[in-house]
Structure 1
């Protein structure tokens, strides 16, 4: 598994370097920034660690500290880099506004916030609670994305636009999920022990709220502004406040 992960991230890294070299050749001014962000590094883990540090830290010491935590996480768990690769490729495949990997890596704050969360999650499960919460706090302050380190998030996840996303402790989010801006996912105050479980391939529109001990089935769609407090069957679309179901597969409708 680790060897396959290394091969996939190496392939992505070669593509990123190729894109950076083309951009640097086309624009010598922008190329200077690219040289520091991409071309100055030996691998994807190093570049991503530095990017996380640059985005979260407000001064040189803080930037170095955040980058150091990220390097430790990527070294300690190489699969994190494979997951980061899948997250980046997911943006390129789902966002019609781009065709390359370099722009979302350098400029999409949702991507950086998600990778910072992956580092915080790694720290949390190694007992480094204060460091994990520091990552959450800074990502919330700087990037306007707050994901608790105790949440669980799969791979190929896309936080589109990202501003105002809040994901609480113990929320479970599957692979290939897309979440737009101003989405809140968390527990209900009267049900403190359980949080939502979001299945594979779910799309969550802007301003949606998902609360409580509920499950969102695979490939369901949650419309913009929808408030969900009950289970949503796989493949269904939920709209409105309170959520009502539409466009359900026949099997889900029969259930």
Structure 2
């Protein structure tokens, strides 16, 4: 069950206090990252900006941009809270709400992308592209700022993730490392996949071209997907073909990567 931003922030504060007591070596880390801030948004801007810091554009300036985006689009912070809840609910290795915020680079990269996307929408293309480059360098996650990504997103491990310019990703989607939403062709118009709500894209899958992946579909690990995928179906292979039976469930929510039975 997802928490509101206020509920999530209260839970993270309680966790940080307890974990700081349990491990005094990290007490200052928890204080600087969480306890020293008046709100979830303030902590988020501080923590992610510190990750993206560089000599030419220091963390303080990056944080100012984050705060400007948060002030003008409240949905960015709400989406971040839903992303944390997605990790907590779907990843058995995540046993407290602060883990994605503090340690998971998939979560951190998505939040930084959200700022780059906001900048792109404001016509501030140069700064959006700068953030894209920093995100790729720091997190090994390359997301074009023009891509459209929903909320409740879990990117597990995240290393090697690529999401191209005209990609569209719905809500409550789960992806693993080395996934590519890649383009096909060089002309105008959509060149990248559209991923519907509740889709699970397993490790190493490559989805290429302006294809549609229907709601609740499952993409098996290592697959190369070159054509549309029906809703609630499972595809696997190179090139990917439908396998297993249709399921009404949303595999992104339970992270079930098995093929239930033959067609």
2:195 paired residue number:
198
189, 210, 225: which one pairs with 1:228?
225
Distance 1:174 1:124, change over 3 A: same
Q: Which moves more between the two structures, 221-230 or 184-193?
A: 184-193
Cα distance in 2 for partners of 1:143, 1:158 equals: 15
In the other structure, the counterpart of 1:93 is 89
2:60 aligned partner? 64
Give the secondary structure class of the aligned counterpart of 1:185. Answer: strand
Per the alignment, residue 114 of structure 2 pairs with 118
Query: 1:98, 1:223 → 2: CA distance?
Result: 23
TM-score (norm 1): 0.92
Gaps of 5+ in 2: 249-263
Give, in whole Å, the separation in 1 of the partners of 2:55 and 2:13.
Answer: 27
SS at match of 1:166: strand
Separation in 1, partners of 2:247, 2:25: 56
Gaps of 5+ in 1: 1-6
Match of 2:242 among 240, 245, 249: 245
Partner of 2:258: none
Q: Does 1:136 align with 2:135?
A: no
Contact 1:222 1:238 (8 Å CA) reproduced? yes
Q: Distance in 2 between matches of 1:58 and 1:19?
A: 30
Over 3 Å counting, the alpha-carbon distance change for 1:225 and 1:23 in structure 2 is same
In the other structure, the counterpart of 1:219 is: 216
What is the CA-CA distance between 1:10 and the residue it aligns to?
1.2
Distance 1:61 1:126, change over 3 A: closer
The answer to whether structure 1 residue 35 and structure 2 residue 31 are counterparts is yes
**Residue of structure 1 equivalent to 2:252:** none
Q: Aligned-pair distance for 1:58?
A: 3.0
The residue that corresponds to 2:251 in the other structure is none
2:141 pairs with one of 139, 145, 148: 145
1:36–1:113 CA distance, 2 compared to 1 (3 A): same
Tell me what 1:4 maps to.
none
Hey, what's the Cα distance between the residues in 2 that align with 1:57 and 1:199? 34
Secondary structure of the corresponding residue to residue 222 of structure 2? coil
User: What is the Cα-based RMSD across aligned positions, in Å?
Assistant: 1.6
Instruction: Give the deviation of 1:108 after TM superposition.
Output: 0.3
More helix by share: 1
Match of 1:24 in 2: 20
User: Offset of 1:236 from its aligned partner?
Assistant: 0.7
Secondary structure at the aligned position of 2:184 is classed as: coil
